[in-house]
Amino acid sequence: MPASLVQGDSLLAVDVGAATTRAVFFDVVEGEYRFLAASSAPSTAEAPFKDLIEGVRDAITRLQSVTGRTLLDGNSQLITPSQPDGSGVDAFVSTLSAGPALKTVIIGLLSDVSLESARRLAETTYARIIDSIGLNDHRKPDQQIDTLLRLRPDMVIITGGADGGASRSIHKTLEPAGLAGYLLAPEKRPAVLFAGNQKLDDEVKEMLGSVTSELHFSPNVRPSLDTEDIEPAARQLADLVIGVRRRQLKGVDVLQAWSGGRVLPTAYAEGRMLRFLGQVYGGTKGGILGVDLGASAAVIAAGFKDKTVLGVYPQFGLGENLPALLQYTQLEDILRWLPLDISTGTLRDYLFQKSLYPASIPATKEDQTIAQAVSRQALYLAMQTARRDFPRSARPPKAGLLPLFEPILAGGGALGDAPTPGQSLLLLLDAIQPVGVTTIILDRNNLLPLLGAAAARNSLLPVQVLDSGAFQSLGSVVSVIASASYGELVVRAKLVYDNGTEARTDVKYGSLELIPLATGQSAKLTLQPQRGADVGFGPGRGGTLSVSGGAMGVVIDGRGRPLALPEDSVRRRELIKKWIWTIGG
């Protein structure tokens, strides 16, 4: 590779999560950027430390032990750029997801237009919408002001009005926010993002500039009634969020100084990478999917040719908000994923204990199965929530199902820390319930958001690291859509290896079948559906395609879509045990 393409700059990337802080080191090996080492330490944003930089330094210190390279000086400050003696690093980037969900109020005009865009914009970051104000709001202005004073939002997102359109209605909706900000103490005033009619930027600045903690402007998310463009506003919102975190969390200013102001919310950085990958790999019928399940939130990023959808759902995170999961589901919905007979009381105790100690790891088999059941339900709910914002062009093969995604990338502590690759794969299949043929890739070191942050400093590094094998392929999965009785034949499959040998299997409804295919190898897979089953070519249509190997080879999921579990608890647990045994759990 020409030397002009790779300058040899090393890069240190740190992700500060609610439970864990991870440090990752990248450098040039034989002319190309590579992921070299990673380490982690408990996050220290919350009590008793309440200074996230302590956890960052711990993670970097552990990374020094792994790499043998000195990165911090005697005062625990980052050495940058790299020195002639080999110490230090040339560049530093950071992502941040620690901290409570930001209390957010959205303000707009029409509930199904500008307010809906504001809702989608808020869901691109770690926000919790606590109120909305629009033209159809039946409350009087003084009631709206009282609500804002009582709720004390961390940030306010304002949308509404086509570019160059009328302004009187927007003025009316802005007045409660301005008066509430005036009445609040300066340190309690919210940060505000205005993403409406750009013609009004100067007026908004005059009205709100002195009564907010910070005021950001972005291009209109609804430049016309039929057009929505959230991405420029999401970039501004990411900056606003880091500004709020800088006031909330001690140590963010140090990260900002080390990175030259390039700290990004973790979810936004991941969405940036999925946007790039979606443009490269996204097809006309589907796209590329990224899921991340951690303590702060469940993050769903879907990249299509014409749109990238980013959904950040703190309500489905596995940290301090875990008991709030029961506002969206029932204990019985979680228990249905368990292979063991566990009481609702035990499950409830687990949820509260895990919320108090989100960094704790399962100590028993029972704890492990409960943790995975909770993860399944949280990720399932996040996927069902994200589906509503998928573009119309991404048509599913059947109503109520997902469109085709190829590949699917999965990360986050709940997924990467599973004891075996088979358990990670089964969790993903149960929660996401993909359709057709797809490759599932596990991001065990949570590199994807860090690569998204690194892209701003070095656009070549993420591309080369993605191609280097830093991610673990779990294999190719065929998810069958079928209506049949349990045990009926739904697919006949034949895998032809590169050396000419063959492997055949008959897939019965309700079962999982594995065909060995090592990582790095490819083969030809021929599928013959039975009884009108759909394996990605259409109902009843078969075909041959190339597939790649992975830790689990080729997996044919004949359990149907949507996945239906038996009502009888004994039979259901026995069936789940069989699936776990089949997948090598």
For 82-93, the DSSP string reads: --TTS-S-SEEE
pTM above 0.75, yes or no: yes
Q: For the CA atoms of 329, 331, 335, 341, what is the dihedral angle to 10 degrees?
A: 180
Q: Find the CATH number of the domain harbouring 58.
A: 3.30.420.40
Same domain, 399 and 545: yes
Could you report the per-residue pLDDT of 534-552, keeping only the tens digit for each? 999 999 999 999 999 999 9
What does the pLDDT read at residue 4?
Answer: 37
Angle formed by the axes of helices 168-183 and 201-208, nearest 10°: 20
The answer, yes or no, to whether residue 326 has pLDDT greater than 90, is yes
* 361 in the same domain as 452: yes
Same domain, yes or no, for 417 and 510?
yes
Say whether both 122 and 230 belong to one domain.
yes
Structural tokens at position 146:
């009282």
| Residue range 285-297: mean pLDDT, rounded | 87
- What value does the mean pLDDT take over residues 459-487? 90
Q: Is residue 262 part of a domain?
A: no
Same domain flag for 287 and 354: yes
Specify if 75 maps to a domain: yes
Range scoring the smallest mean pLDDT among 24-38, 250-264, 279-293: 279-293
Token pair 């990249």 is at which residue? 303
- 132 shares its domain with 87: no
- Is the pLDDT at 5 greater than 60? The verdict is no
For residue 358, the 8-state DSSP code is T
Give me the residues paired with residue 131 across strands.
105
In a domain, 4, yes or no: no
Could you list the residue range(s) of the whole structural domain that residue 238 is in? 102-248
Let me know whether 238 and 373 are in one domain: no
Question: Tens of pLDDT along 82-103?
Answer: 899 889 999 999 999 999 999 9
What integer is the mean pLDDT of 488-509? 95
**Is the pLDDT reported for residue 3 higher than 50?**
no
- Last residue in a domain, options 41, 62, 96: 96
Q: Is the peptide bond between 48 and the residue preceding it cis, with omega within 30 degrees of 0?
A: yes
Query: If you ran DSSP here, which 8-state letter would residue 190 be given?
Result: P
CB 417 within 8 A of CB 571: no
Nearest to residue 166, comparing CAs of 120, 200, 133, 214?
200
Tally the residues of the chain.
585
**Same domain (yes/no): 375, 501:** yes
Contacts of 379 (CB under 8 A, 6+ apart): 291, 293, 298, 316, 414, 427, 428, 431, 432
How many domains does the chain divide into? 3
Q: What percentage of the chain reaches a pLDDT higher than 90?
A: 70
Q: Which residues, listed in sequence order, are joined to residue 192 by a DSSP beta bridge?
A: 156, 215
The verdict on residue 68 lying in a domain is: yes
User: pLDDT per residue over 414-471, tens digit each?
Assistant: 787 788 999 999 999 999 999 999 999 999 888 999 999 998 888 889 888 887 878 9
- Flag whether 542 is in a domain: yes
Contact between 204 and 178 under an 8 Å Cβ cutoff? The reply is no
Q: What is the pLDDT of residues 299-320, one digit of tens each?
A: 999 988 778 899 999 999 998 8
pLDDT at residue 489 in the model:
96
Query: Given 96, 127, 151, which residue is the final one in a domain?
Result: 96
Domain of residue 244, CATH code: 3.40.50.2300
Last residue of a domain, one of 215, 248, 281: 248
DSSP structure class, residue 511: -
Write phi, then psi, for 554 (nearest 5 degrees). -105, 125
Same domain, 471 and 510: yes
Least confident of 8-12, 18-22, 115-119, 252-256: 8-12
Q: Are residues 192 and 87 in the same domain?
A: no
**55 domain-assigned:** yes
CB 339 within 8 A of CB 573: yes
Q: Does residue 255 lie within any of the structural domains?
A: no
Other beta carbons less than 10 A from residue 159's beta carbon:
32
Q: Is residue 294 part of a domain?
A: yes
Give me the residues paired with residue 473 across strands.
441
Arithmetic mean of pLDDT, 149-165: 88
Whole-angstrom Cα distance, residue 196 to residue 188?
A: 24
Same domain, 203 and 306: no
Task: State whether 77 and 110 are in the same domain.
Answer: no
